[in-house]
């Protein structure tokens, strides 16, 4: 067995041991196909107030600028689909990815162990781990490494289990065996486009982030525009509409990661529980949760946006 094959086997075995659902590998290089669309997306201000999207443009397109000597991008998917969803009487809705612990913390811990194990088994490696908080086009790399295709809603979709996955990467200086991209299986389906409450999916695979409910309820720091308040569909943290209607998610299976188990009592919170939440309760209830990203003031703003003026 040659070194490339051996190292690839070690990496895929370790990904499985750590509980990742899928692992794919692509050759590190410039993302030529994504360069122009990203530039146009930014020029049209579809990132809204997400100023960080304007930064590190070159690094977003070339991982070799993030890791010296980078040769491979290892993409990893971790399933977060829950066994149970919010009680239908809850009224206010939060995205499924935020039911449990903050995924950044859960996955970063796994990736740290991943890199340590690789160094033990292979030797010194120059590499970095990334989870949705650095200038890496994670969905583009996951697509390039054959883990799925880019859906019309801009999410990566796997043929086996749909799209309820977190994406993470290891960018390393090892030559490996690379996986091939897979076919796009969306066909003529437009369910995600048709179902989006704010018409944020302006073209297949192009989402105007400044119109997305997730943007309004998490990223936006100012007041939610009045003309969008009646389109929020009771979402107060994130939005799952474009995933919930996707036919491929009929194959979604509950994830096995203990850290994503719903926080105690969260699924049964009623409208009054959300409306009466104090800052003290918010801090205690959502300790270690991604929901803390919006802050207590942001959550109260989101809830208030649903009330009739």
Q: State pLDDT tens for residues 177-197.
A: 999 999 999 999 999 999 999
Q: How far is CA 93 from the centre of its chain?
A: 18
- The structural domains of the chain, ordered by start, are 3-83+99-172 (3.40.109), 191-253+262-304 (no CATH)
Q: What average pLDDT does range 41-54 have in this prediction?
A: 90
Q: Check if 132 is active-site.
A: yes
CA 132 to CA 290: how far, in whole Å? 13
User: Which residue in 132, 194, 230, 276 is the catalytic one?
Assistant: 132
Q: 3-state DSSP call for residue 180?
A: coil
CA 305 to CA 126: how far, in whole Å? 47
| pLDDT at position 309 over 50 | no
Structure token digits, residue 282: 């918010």
| pLDDT at position 173 over 90 | yes
Q: How far is CA 265 from the centre of its chain?
A: 24
| pLDDT at position 264 over 90 | no
Q: Percent of the chain beyond pLDDT 70?
A: 99
Residue 73 β-bridge partners: 26, 171
**Measured CA angle at 267 (ends 252, 107), to 5 deg:** 55
Q: What distances in angstroms separate CA 101 from CA 124, 170, 212, 292, one per listed residue?
A: 32, 22, 23, 10
CA 212 to CA 190: how far, in whole Å? 17
Q: Left, alpha or beta for 93 (phi > 0: left; psi -120 to 50: alpha)?
A: beta
The pLDDT value given to residue 55? 87
The pLDDT value given to residue 308? 57
């Amino acid at each position: 067995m040659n070194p490339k094959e051996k190292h690839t086997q070690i990496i895929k075995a370790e990904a499985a041991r750590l509980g990742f659902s899928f692992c794919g590998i692509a050759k590190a290089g410039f993302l030529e196909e994504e360069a122009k669309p990203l530039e146009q997306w930014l020029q049209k201000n579809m990132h809204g107030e997400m100023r960080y999207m304007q930064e590190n443009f070159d690094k977003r397109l070339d991982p070799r600028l993030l890791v010296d000597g980078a040769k491979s991008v290892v993409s990893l998917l971790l399933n977060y689909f829950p066994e149970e969803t919010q009680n239908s009487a809850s009224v206010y809705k939060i995205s499924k990815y935020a039911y449990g612990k903050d995924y950044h913390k859960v996955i970063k811990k796994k990736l740290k162990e991943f890199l340590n194990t690789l160094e033990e088994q292979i030797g010194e490696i120059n590499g970095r781990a990334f989870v949705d908080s650095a200038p890496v086009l994670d969905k583009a790399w996951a697509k390039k490494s054959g883990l799925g295709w880019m859906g019309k809603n801009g999410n990566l979709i796997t043929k086996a289990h749909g799209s309820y996955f977190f994406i993470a990467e290891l960018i390393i200086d090892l030559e490996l065996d690379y996986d091939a991209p897979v076919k796009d299986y969306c066909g003529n389906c437009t369910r995600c486009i048709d179902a989006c409450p704010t018409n944020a999916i302006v073209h297949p695979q192009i989402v105007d982030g400044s119109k997305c409910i997730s943007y309004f309820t998490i990223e936006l720091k100012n007041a939610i525009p009045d003309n969008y308040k009646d389109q929020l569909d009771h979402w107060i943290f994130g939005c799952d509409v474009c995933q919930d209607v996707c036919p491929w998610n009929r194959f979604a299976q509950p994830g096995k990661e203990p850290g994503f188990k719903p926080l105690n009592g969260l699924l049964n919170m009623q409208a009054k529980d959300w409306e009466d939440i104090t800052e003290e309760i918010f801090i205690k209830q959502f300790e270690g949760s991604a929901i803390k990203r919006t802050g207590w003031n942001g959550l109260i703003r989101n809830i208030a946006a649903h009330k009739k003026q």
